[in-house]
Structure 1
Amino acid sequence: MGESIRKPAGYIKDFMQQVFIGLGVPVADAEICADVLVAADLRGIDSHGINRLKPIYYDRIKAGIQYPNAPIDIVREGPTTAVLDANNGMGMVVSHKAMAMAVEKAKKLGLGMTVVRNSTHYGIAGYYPLMAVEQGCIGLSGTNARPSIAPTFGVENMLGTNPQTWAMPTDEEFPFFLDCATSVSQRGKIEVYARTGKTMPEGWVVRRDGSTATDPNQVLKDLIAGEAALTPLGGIGEDGGGYKGYGYAVVTEVLSAALQGGQFLKALSGFDEAGERRPYRLGHFFLAIDIEAFTELEIFKKSIGDILRSLRASDKAPGQERIYTAGEKEWEAYRVRSVEGIEIPASVAQEFRTMADELGISGFDW
């Protein structure tokens, strides 16, 4: 498989920005797209980072099912709300705009919520709530996605991995940052297992006959063919609380589709009735809460910091040395990778070389 390499985050971001520009994405928009992807790897969320440049964005733009320079229409707007139409353009770009609008509204009136329809994959959901944190707000974002999750007691992939992601400022070095899917795992993590040749844990996937599967390469094929589905957070059945993940996935679907008249469930498969590829038409939602509309920002930050510190200081299970709170591992990854760089698997480095050759990009060593 070859050796992985390590490069500085800025170096990788510059390359990816050139790739997006080469595909027809405007310069400022390309900078946003590259920043979202690098932000994932810097925080240790490798499933949604640079490895997705080619299969998710490059290939879809080349296939004509994602548009590099689509207009963003504001369909409806009120003092605290807005509905945006991405027109099948870059999901990261419309999402950046949508969260910025939500924050601006929140700073004026306490709360701001925006929703987006006809969009595409927007990278890590956590990027956008972190934008709100920078402005002294609580941030929330979620998105629907192509069908992957089976409902509890079902075996058909119906719902996307549908994350609900929160970020809140604290008085510590890092914010509270909860970025996770409503499934036990997600397609991107399975792709990581496939690239590294690892066997998946049991229970991540349910097959048509109700059994589980652990071969990541076969699972990726079966997910596309509809022969397997991801399990909701909590796992197969109700004993582990699978109905909870299922329920939250539905909430995300509603807020990502019904609230803005967008597409949902099987309509997000990326294929039409004839089996031809088409735009995914995803939906997203963004919420910003201005903390100072409720209490002093510094009081809030100390309170949430005290909560998190108390949790980490609580009694540990035998054999365990540490209790984490959400955002802590991501912050530790960021501190290391922002200095030491980001590891690029050999397969991803080869994809970078391929894209550079096809677009005529020079000056980068992969």
Structure 2
Amino acid sequence: MKFLDEYAEHYADCAWIHFPELEKFMEEALIHAGVPAADAKIIGDVLIESDKRGIDSHGIGRLKPIYIDRIDIGIMNPVTEIEVVKDQDATAVLDGHNGMGHVVGHKAMEMAIEKAKKYGMGMVAVRNSNHYGIAGYFATMATEAGMIGITGTNARPSIAPTFGVENMLGTNPLTFGLPTDEEFPFVLDCATSVSQRGKIEVYGRAGKDLPPGWVIDHEGKTRTDTKQVLEDLTTGKAALTPLGGIGDMTGGYKGYGYATIVEILCAALQDGSWMKALNGFDENHKPIPYPLGHFFIAIDPEHFMGLETFKRIAGTICRQLRASEKAPGEDYIFTAGEKEYLAWKFRNEHGCPVPPSLQKVMVTLRDRYKMDYHWDFEKK
């Protein structure tokens, strides 16, 4: 398969580290940073799941800059205290009190699943949380329980509205997980922008320019200078384009609309914060917490026509899509979640690719916390 050939070639300069070691390293680093052991295990599981699925923007690459660094400067609490603000039959509202988003998200989706078992559907809204890793992790918590999982989160402003240039909305993924009768679920986990900051960071670590159309400046012109873009996204001098691209000719209004839906559902249900309140800086440009909101929905097919019926039809639809006529020069049609499954199979054998820039970060954390790790890439 062409995808796998290109996949191996893409990581030619990386060191390969097996998942158990990498997950253990992340857990230990988080514990040294003040995270309780049980919470560090949840966070490590979310982060390693990203690396397993080939989503390099949200795994080990986020450990230091998003979590440990924010703990260090005091804008994220390593100990997560979850308050149940409201709990009714099929719904609940939680307050994460600026704790670790993965831990809050795990608790929220567990509650949604339990409610769905009893009532057919469950929804939990969260406020005052933090970045919770890949949204697909929580959607697949539901698929593993034989349910449909839906989740979304707002984020610091990055996307400009259609015909605008100011970063107003977060990348705001709207994520679905659907159980199938195949070896893997259908999981659509993507930002409502053409790209997202994590992928731009991957380009930055590789020293590559961005593709045109991902980012615009205040003149509405596309930007490709990755390093400066990362700085300008933070200061508001650049903005991501919504899914569909610049303007409305290619449907940019669709991504803009979906991003707005997620923003509202992550703020209005739980009386949380939104848009510019999530900037992460005060009026003097000093770092402050990002009080993010999330929502989690679980739907139990057993309360409709049954799980097996749902899985059979969902799987059949996916197989029919893959079997449809292919474009000239293409050897395969994928369905959502399939590339991540193939990445998992490949990486389960070879390990996780760690580029030189992340190798330096791992060495820095190991030395800082005096952890007993020695990697082959240090011998080169």
Where on the TM-score scale, by shorter chain, does this alignment land: which range? over 0.9
Moved over 3 A (4+): none
Instruction: Verify: 1:123 aligned to 2:104, yes or no.
Output: no
Q: 1:4 corresponds to which letter in structure 2?
A: C
Question: Percent of counterpart pairs with the same letter?
Answer: 59
Count of residues in correspondence between the two structures: 365
Instruction: Verify: 1:144 aligned to 2:154, yes or no.
Output: yes
Structure 1 Cα separation of the partners of residues 232 and 288 of structure 2: 20
The 3-state SS of whatever aligns with 1:338 is helix
Out of 5, 26, 41, the residue aligned to residue 15 of structure 2 is: 5
Q: How far off is 1:277 after superposition?
A: 0.8
Q: How far off is 1:167 after superposition?
A: 0.5
Query: Could you say which residue in structure 1 is the equivalent of 2:200?
Result: 190
Instruction: Verify: 1:350 aligned to 2:360, yes or no.
Output: yes
Q: 1:192 corresponds to which letter in structure 2?
A: V
Alignment check: 8 A CA contact 2:366 2:373 kept? no
Structure 2 Cα separation of the partners of residues 112 and 155 of structure 1: 37
Query: Could you say which residue in structure 1 is the equivalent of 2:4?
Result: none
Query: Could you say which residue in structure 1 is the equivalent of 2:101?
Result: 91
Structure 2 Cα separation of the partners of residues 250 and 15 of structure 1: 37
Q: Could you report, residue by residue, the CA deviation over 1:247-284 in whole angstroms, capped at 9, with x for unpaired residues? A: 00000001111110000000000011222111100000
Q: How far off is 1:364 after superposition?
A: 4.2
CA RMSD of aligned residues (A): 1.1
Query: Could you say which residue in structure 2 is the equivalent of 1:47?
Result: 57
* Higher deviation after alignment, 347-356 or 118-127: 347-356
Query: Could you say which residue in structure 1 is the equivalent of 2:116?
Result: 106
- TM-score under structure 2 normalisation? 0.95
The 3-state SS of whatever aligns with 2:372 is coil
The 3-state SS of whatever aligns with 1:353 is helix
Out of 237, 246, 256, the residue aligned to residue 256 of structure 2 is: 246
Out of 322, 333, 344, the residue aligned to residue 343 of structure 2 is: 333
Alignment check: 8 A CA contact 1:6 1:343 kept? yes
Q: 2:44 corresponds to which letter in structure 1?
A: A
Query: Could you say which residue in structure 1 is the equivalent of 2:278?
Result: 268
Q: Could you report, residue by residue, the CA deviation over 1:291-319 in whole angstroms, capped at 9, with x for unpaired residues? A: 10001211111101110011111111122
Instruction: Verify: 1:294 aligned to 2:294, yes or no.
Output: no
Instruction: Verify: 1:71 aligned to 2:84, yes or no.
Output: no
Query: Could you say which residue in structure 2 is the equivalent of 1:206?
Result: 216
- TM-score under structure 1 normalisation? 0.98
Out of 315, 319, 324, the residue aligned to residue 305 of structure 1 is: 315
Out of 134, 158, 173, the residue aligned to residue 163 of structure 1 is: 173
Alignment check: 8 A CA contact 2:165 2:220 kept? yes
Q: 1:193 corresponds to which letter in structure 2?
A: Y
The 3-state SS of whatever aligns with 2:57 is helix
Q: How far off is 1:3 after superposition?
A: 5.2
Alignment check: 8 A CA contact 2:160 2:241 kept? yes
The 3-state SS of whatever aligns with 2:229 is helix
Structure 2 Cα separation of the partners of residues 100 and 349 of structure 1: 34
Instruction: Verify: 1:56 aligned to 2:66, yes or no.
Output: yes
Structure 1 Cα separation of the partners of residues 15 and 262 of structure 2: 37
The 3-state SS of whatever aligns with 2:169 is coil
Q: 1:270 corresponds to which letter in structure 2?
A: G
Alignment check: 8 A CA contact 2:209 2:225 kept? yes
Alignment check: 8 A CA contact 1:111 1:289 kept? yes
* Higher deviation after alignment, 140-149 or 356-365: 356-365
Structure 2 Cα separation of the partners of residues 175 and 364 of structure 1: 36
The 3-state SS of whatever aligns with 1:75 is strand
Q: 1:130 corresponds to which letter in structure 2?
A: T
Structure 2 Cα separation of the partners of residues 16 and 9 of structure 1: 10
Alignment check: 8 A CA contact 1:15 1:364 kept? no
Structure 2 Cα separation of the partners of residues 277 and 227 of structure 1: 18
Matches within 5 A, 1:226-237: 226-237=236-247
Query: Could you say which residue in structure 1 is the equivalent of 2:373?
Result: 363
Structure 2 Cα separation of the partners of residues 194 and 23 of structure 1: 26
Alignment check: 8 A CA contact 1:142 1:284 kept? yes
